[in-house]
A and B are shown apart, each in its own frame.
Chain A
């Protein structure tokens, strides 16, 4: 491929690619994201390739391996175009039938998504999970092969870069981003334009631009999906940013655990360099920009800006004291503009469609869309991109399909491990940066964990504090020791050793951590405790005063017993108990030996007669005498 030396060259190439493509030609796409690959997409793709070749259909049917669609739970995903028929959980055995059906222009009903009313939905965009999303950033993932720059260019890619370089001055690009009110998607929602401007105006050369793809939140993977599914979009945003800021060098920091993201972005960089879209004299504009990939050790705290820059400099990836913004003094003391993957990916869209278009989506102070990782007790989990201002209820019920197993919703945790939980009464809150903070939580990078009635809020707080305790770098006292003491107190409460003064103690430690910690890990670490305490205080009190776990989760505070009126002496619990704690016989009501019971809950799950009861905060009723026969046989 010859280098593109001008904007016209790029346009010419785009036309050439499109001319070779027939939009009506059948196209089978297979998601080749990390999750689908893990569930067998690679084998499906190989089988498709072979089947198409075997039938000599290479010229008639196109096969494409795309980026992650976000509906990973239902993977491997295969979508057939132009009809956009979506097949879920596809196995290699299904492949011959799929190829046959494409030839015959027919739909395979058994591979379709089954909707809430048991109806089968064929078109991808009709599936509720997709229907209520607005996928401006993420949508292209399912159209392009992440390893093909031609796919990206065909979709209009690098057009925004050409527009910036040839129609706009760096100042104009900066103004457009400021006008768009683009806020950082990686945590705090800091205005990107303001950060760019600070870096641009700061003294010192060279300046750096950096992509943050550390993504240490457990359960979150939107950055990975963007990076591995459409790396050119992120790269294009970064180059535009570099142009606006006056940076000649950039870094893409990717966690070690994301091998496919590293691979795909490296391929993307190489291709962009070959095409003259990166490196010296980009598109003949005279602008030079080089970028390197830095593989990080993947600790949660390494995603913090100063820690990340320490790591890029080759030092230990732990936070340093920062009272001068990294945009002024970052890598090697030089102006360094760090933004999240998703933030960068929004940039080409804003330049291409204009700030006014971007501002037309979202709420007054939060513009555009946000990608969330919707997980937990909802029917449909995955990555969802929604306009800012959508309600939590719409995300959970319309897109996520409601709570699994018909259970009751209890709370949703947003913002990752240091976010907060939000109870039912706030489900109609429009989701944006500021509203979530008002509720004591945050947007964070977009984690969203849905919890049902069987969740204990004290236990949840302990879980997140435990995660942060493992991930804290340990440098400053309030974060390191505060988390240690909080974890210990929460464990005491969960295990029935809570004391009356504990809630005051928790609040005092939380306040000190919030005000005095070195970095945002520590200043936000108490959020899960504070919000559960704020919205579910009575649950804490029940644990402490009544030694009762209302959700019946905390093992030390619950007991299982067998209701003699309901037991049929079927032996199911007796056979399945892993510690032999169930006594009884063929015609004899079963009893649980409380001293032996480890509260694993197996008996509760296997009982077909609902005879095993879970109780908390009350004494275990005495068992009937040995030899008592089941009610029906008495």
Chain B
């Protein structure tokens, strides 16, 4: 693998080809927040709080650091007033469906760090919060661990939600990885079994 030279927050970084900006930033200790990323999984790109500013060919744009590959000559900015503002907005948007979260959870930490007002947008929408930001970490982890996801997504758009597939429930060995990766603390220590609606309930509109 070749080496790639880029600049992150003014510091020169030598990264491996194929690395993401997020990985390269970690080499030099630049903190980029994430909510839907886990280095053990493929980049997914759902939460967008890892958004950074890149400059190449004289043009700047915003990209998700967790998925953007490093390249020679790339200039990356991981923090700026504009980025902070957008991350704050993103956290506030995610808070609409999250509604509440466990103190000490990853989400909670970010709310505090960015001075987000979780009720700013949530107060404009009449929904029952689910504690879930649909980051998909539990779904992806589960399918990685069990090989055949016990939990998965149903629905599109604002109806997208995580459910447990009853016919696969016996595959759950209560490894609790889903609980461990959940950024809002939605998944209780009892494992997903009792806190997720079943797909039958969802399709029948019972939840």
Contacts and interface: CB of A to CB of B under 8 A. Distances in A.
Contact of A480 (B43, B62, B124, B134): B134
B155 A512 contact: no
Interface residues of A, number: 33
A474 B155 contact: yes
A75 B69 CA distance: 53
B15 interface: no
Given A323-B63, A485-B93, A485-B124, A478 B157 contact: no
B90 A512 contact: yes
A509 interface: yes
B158 A477 contact: no
A435 interface: no
Nearest to A477: B94
Contact of A474 (B62, B124, B134): B134
Contacts of B61: 515
A235 B94 CA distance: 45
Nearest to B66: A321
Contacts of B134: 474-475, 477, 480
A470 B157 contact: yes
Contacts of A321: 43-45, 64, 67
A478 B90 contact: yes
Nearest to B43: A321
Interface in B68-96: 68-69, 86, 89-90, 93-94, 96
A616 interface: no
A44 to B, nearest CB: 40
A548 B17 CA distance: 59
Contacts of B111: none
A509 B45 contact: no
Nearest to A476: B46
Contacts of A505: 121, 124
B48 A477 contact: yes
A474 B158 contact: yes
A325 to B, nearest CB: 12
Contacts of B133: 477
B157 A473 contact: yes
Contact of B94 (A323, A472, A481, A508): A481
Chain A CB within 10 A, most for which of B64, B94, B156: B156
A470 B44 CA distance: 22
B43 to A, nearest CB: 6
Given A481-B96, A485-B96, A485-B124, A515 B51 contact: yes
A472 B94 CA distance: 16
B48 A471 contact: no
A518 interface: yes
B59 interface: no
Contacts of A492: 124
A517 interface: yes
B188 interface: no
B124 A516 contact: no
B194 interface: no
B93 A488 contact: no
Interface string A505-523: 1001101100111100000
Contacts of B51: 515-516
Contacts of B136: 475
B97 interface: yes
Nearest to B89: A512
Interface in A271-313: 299
A478 B48 contact: yes
A269 to B, nearest CB: 31
Contacts of A320: 45
Nearest to A478: B48
Contacts of A477: 46-49, 90, 93-94, 133-134
Nearest to A485: B121
A517 B90 CA distance: 10
Contacts of B125: 484-485, 488
B45 A518 contact: yes
Contacts of A482: 93
B62 A516 contact: yes
A238 interface: no
A489 interface: yes
A485 B86 CA distance: 16
A381 to B, nearest CB: 30
Contacts of B47: 476-477
Contacts of B159: 474
Interface string B93-121: 11011000000000000000000000001
Given A320-B45, A484-B96, 11 more contacts: A321-B44, A470-B156, A475-B46, A477-B48, A477-B90, A509-B93, A509-B121, A512-B89, A515-B86, A516-B51, A518-B64
7 contacts: A320-B45, A477-B47, A509-B93, A512-B93, A515-B62, A516-B48, A518-B64
Report the 4 A-B pairs with minimum CB-CB distance, sorted nearest first.
Answer: A474-B160, A321-B45, A481-B93, A321-B67
